[in-house]
Each structure stands twice: as C-alpha cells, then as structure tokens.
Amino acid sequence: MKSLSGIAGTALLLMASAMGVNSASAQDATTFVYADAGEPSTIDPAKANVNWEFTVTRNVYDRLVDFDLDDPSRLLPALATEWKQDGKVWTFKLRDGVTFHDGTPFDANDVKATLDRLLKVGQGQSYLVDDIASVTVVDPKTVQIETKAPTVFLASNLSRIEMMSDEDIAKHGGEAGEAWFSENANGTGPYAFVAWTRGTQIELKRNDKWWGKFPEKPFDRVLDRFVTDGANRARGLEGGEFDLANFVPLDEALRIGSTSGFHLVEGNNLWAWPAIYLNMDIPPTNNKDFRNALVKAFDYNAMVQSFQGKAVVGRGPIPAWFPGSPEKDQPEIKTDLEAAKAALAASGLSNATMKCSVPAGFPEFRFAATILQASAAQIGVTVEIEELPFVEAITAIKTDKSNCFVLGNANLSPQDATKFFSAHYLKGGFFNSGKFEDPALQELIAKLPSVSDPAERAAMLKQASDIVVDSHYIIWPARPVTVVPEPDRIGGYRIDPAEYINARFWELYSK
C-alpha cells in the first residue's frame, strides 16, 4: 500500500469550528436539504475519501455492484448485471442502455479507463482494489479484471468504486490536468451535478433517465449544505431548515429523535468508536503486561453509559454483524481491577506515567481518554491527555512522542476485512500508529483473500482477530450503534454498514 492510500481504512471525520450557513426552508417537498459536516476538497471519485466528499460521488456516480445494506454478504447488480470469478480472472457483464448525464453511453471502455486511472492516481479508495493487475475490454458489454493473486473480495470491493466516463478521462485526465474532476462530475448515477457554490452548498438534480428505481415522491433537487458545526446541524435539523444532517452529536440526536415530528434510524456501521492504540515501541506501553493491565483496568461500562446505552463492548477488532465475524466465539472483554493489578505487578512498572494524544474535535475520543485516565489512576498509573489537531496527534505517536492515540474505526468494504487489517495492524499501515507487527498475522492477511471456502476464511479471520486481541495493542472502549434522527415527513433513510455516515439520496422520499 503506497503513501496515504490506506487512509480510507477508516472514515476520517475532521470537523472544523463553527460556521453557520443561512438557508431557505427545507419544507419544499421536491427539494431535499442535507446538512453535511464539511465542504469537499474534491469530488473526484478517484480521490474522494471523506464522508462529505462521498455525499456527492456516491449519488452522482454508479458502481459495478451494490450490496444489501441489511445483509452485506449479499451483493446486488448495479452497472454490472452478472459476474463470476475464475481464479485470478473476474468477468463482469454490463447493463444495457445506461448513459452518463452528458448523454454518452456507458460501456466496458469506461470501466477500464476508470480503474486504470484510479490505480494510477493511487489515492482515495484505490487501496480497496490495489490487487488488480489488469483490466481487459472483451466486448462493449463485457469486461475482464485480472488480479495479482486470486481474491474472492474483488466484486464486494468494487461496490465502493465509482465508474467514470472514458471520454471525460481522455479529455480532462492525464497531464492536461486532473483538476476538472475535482470540481465537476459526470456520472451515470441517480443525481446529476448542477453547481457548487463555494463555502455554501453543492446542488444536484434528479436523473430521470437513471436505470435504477426511485421510490414514489423522490426529491427532484438536492442541496448539500456545508455546516461544519455539529450543534448547528442539530439545530437546523430540529428547526426544519434541513431535511437530514450527518454527524449529529449523539445526545442531540437522541433528544431530537424523541421530539414529535422525528424518529430515530439506528444501525451498525462502526468497528470501534473509538479505539485506543498503544505505542509498541516506547515504555511503558511497549510492555505487554502493562498493556494488559490497561485493557483490564479500563471502565467499559462508563463508555457505554456515555453513549447512553447505545453501544456494546467489542470483543475484538471485527464487529459481530460483519460477514464471517469471529466475535461470537471470542471471550468478552471486561473491567477487572484485580486482574489489572496482577498484570501491572507482572510488568514490574508501578507508578508509571504515559501520554495520550487525542485528535481534537471528537467528544467521544476525549472522553475515552478521560476514562482511561480515571481507570489507570485506580491501579496507580498516570495518564496525561493532550488534545491535538488530527495530524499532530497521529504524528505524536508515530514519532514516539506519545504512548497512545485515539481513533474511530469503520471499514468501507462490505465483506473484506483484510484491507482494514492492512491499514491498522500490519507494518506500514497508515493507521497502525502504535507500530504493531506480527509475522503470523501478516501471513494470514496475505493468504485470506485467496481462500474460497467461507468456513476456512472465517477460521483464519478468527486467528487474525485473536492475534490482535492477545497482543493488547488496542483498547476497544465501545462499539456504538449509529443513530440518525429523521423527520417524520421524510422516509427511506438506511444506514450503510460499511460507511460512516452515508446519504443515499435516491432512496429518500417525502411522505
């Protein structure tokens, strides 16, 4: 995995300070106003990597396959209607009669151009398909993709990759300047890009010629507003200024959801929120017994209570609802002060002091660190908390200036856990901030995609998961349920288990 391509192993949510946006009312039944947590830096599908960029790319472009949000192990046809794997070669049959918003037809050349460009650019979600060796156009409706090694996950990972037009890529790509794609979009998707008013909003309009099916009373026009302050999004949603908002702080979400005119949509998509990474390289956290003492001392109940009960305590890195998850066969992780004291005694490190760097702007992250501080104090360990901007915080642990780092985890792939493991627990992974290394884990993750028997894969995934758990590299304070308040006048919002947080405008309708 090269440079920063591992970034999207986790949905990164970098919220800035308050910035309100004045706006018209959202009550117009044909216009949908969405309060997004940020302004995209790009809407190029080859580079987009944060939720408010996906808001545009996911709705304007289509993907070869889709997956069932209620059962991510089931793939559904999208731009491809059929597909099959034969060793390293996957063959996709493409849908007939699909056109881009500019009127040009969609065919196999578009798929090849898109994937070639994505891998060449090497940013955004390219890490999900970086095992592709070559793409071949068989005929206008058939495309063959060869991977470097056999992988059963290619189709599921392609459910995240947006298809662009080869004419656009020829015209605007290459040396001529990729800049066009950063601020323009021509897809085959349910909504077409209309305009981007800098600092305010992006406007989309419904694509009547879309191949898919809209619900009754869909929205003809979507305004994607940039509202960086969570409290402002919450208040705008409550006041009817917005039809929906992403990242509404949990306390606000629960409160708004219980008022009349609103209901709550709940779902699973988080792997950990947060996860506490311990530095394997410097004392005292380079001592396994010491890490074990922290894991055992941590007050998990306090974290679950801070989520007002809307959370479970993870037993390992992979959530129970993920296809093939070993979680049900793993032991619970619980607070056990006696065991923590015994582990601390075994470590020989009494009265230790450690530093924890926390990315600023995430109340849950800071609170997890506060709980760690209070829990560690009970066994005589001092934790100093330092809140820093995201990049400074992750740099602090990577450069051994800090013992611990706090981060939230989600996984963009609906079926493939190996990309997540690569980014978080393997050598060189961008989020492997505490520098964990294990040769056996490396080998398991490399081999897993080539195994065709699901039972065998599940067994391997359990081994991989156990290695991470037994190392005590990570403290998983909680795995919250995602809660989204939806106005009663709107219907159709569903939580995407592999994205935090999504907006599928084509499924939404007014009641």
Partner 1 sequence: MSAVLPTARPRRSRPRGVLAPVALLVIVILIAFALVPGLIAPDSPVALNMADRLKPPSFAHLFGTDEGGRDIFSRVVFGTRYSLGVAIAIVFASALFGVVYGAVSGMARGSADNVMMRIVDLFFGFPALVLALAVAASIGRGLGSVALSLTIIWWPGYARLVRGEVLRLRERPHVEAARALGVSNLTILRRHILPFVAQEVNVRVTTDIGYALVAVTALSFLGLGANSPTPEWGLLIRDSRPYFGSAWWYLVFPGTMIMLTATAFSLIGDSLAARRGG
Q: Which of 315, 366, 398, 462 binds partner 1 (CB under 8 A)?
A: 366
Interface of this chain with partner 1, residues 222 to 241, rule: CB under 8 A: 230-231, 234-235, 238
Question: 224 or 252, CB closer to partner 1?
Answer: 252
Inter-residue contact 293 to 343 (CB < 8 Å): yes
The yes or no reply on residue 342 touching partner 1 (CB under 8 A) is no
User: Which string of x and - marks every residue 382-421 that binds partner 1 (by CB under 8 A)?
Assistant: --xxxxx---------------------------------
Window of 189-197, 280-288, 367-375, 408-416 that interacts with partner 1 by CB under 8 A: 367-375
The yes or no reply on residue 306 touching partner 1 (CB under 8 A) is yes
For every residue of 109-176, DSSP letters joined together read HHHHHHHHHHHHH--GGGGGGTTEEEEEEEETTEEEEEESS--TTHHHHHTT-B---HHHHHHH-GGG
The yes or no reply on residue 255 touching partner 1 (CB under 8 A) is yes
The yes or no reply on residue 363 touching partner 1 (CB under 8 A) is yes
Question: 408 or 497, CB closer to partner 1?
Answer: 408
Give the residue from 317, 333, 287 showing the smallest Cα distance to 423.
Answer: 317
Question: 29 or 374, CB closer to partner 1?
Answer: 374
Separation of alpha carbons 315 and 272, rounded Å:
10
- Distances from the Cα of 299 to the Cα of 289, 377, 387, 399, angstroms: 18, 11, 21, 28
Count, in order, helices (H) and strands (E) of the chain: 15, 22
Q: How far is the CB of 359 from partner 1 (least distance, A)?
A: 11
Query: For residue 171, what are its two tokens?
Result: 């015209």
The yes or no reply on residue 167 touching partner 1 (CB under 8 A) is no
The yes or no reply on residue 373 touching partner 1 (CB under 8 A) is yes
The yes or no reply on residue 360 touching partner 1 (CB under 8 A) is yes
Window of 86-94, 98-106, 328-336, 378-386 that interacts with partner 1 by CB under 8 A: 378-386
Inter-residue contact 163 to 187 (CB < 8 Å): yes
Window of 51-59, 179-187, 302-310, 433-441 that interacts with partner 1 by CB under 8 A: 302-310
Task: DSSP letter for 99, please.
Answer: B
DSSP E strands, 360-495: 382-388, 404-410, 474-475, 479-480, 482-487, 490-491
Q: How far is the CB of 407 from partner 1 (least distance, A)?
A: 17
Separation of alpha carbons 275 and 225, rounded Å:
30
The yes or no reply on residue 483 touching partner 1 (CB under 8 A) is no
Separation of alpha carbons 193 and 223, rounded Å:
11
Strands 31-36 and 221-226, how do they pair? parallel
3-state secondary structure of 264: strand
Give the residue from 452, 461, 449, 497 showing the smallest Cα distance to 130.
Answer: 449
Question: 70 or 251, CB closer to partner 1?
Answer: 251
Indicate the residue type of 290. Answer: F
Window of 164-172, 244-252, 435-443, 486-494 that interacts with partner 1 by CB under 8 A: 244-252
Q: How far is the CB of 6 from partner 1 (least distance, A)?
A: 27
Window of 247-255, 312-320, 476-484, 498-506 that interacts with partner 1 by CB under 8 A: 247-255
Give the residue from 12, 14, 32, 10 showing the smallest Cα distance to 23.
Answer: 32
The yes or no reply on residue 14 touching partner 1 (CB under 8 A) is no
Separation of alpha carbons 427 and 446, rounded Å:
12
Site residues (vs partner 1, CB under 8 A): 230-231, 234-235, 238, 249, 251-252, 255, 299, 301-302, 305-306, 308, 360, 363, 366-367, 369-371, 373-374, 384-388
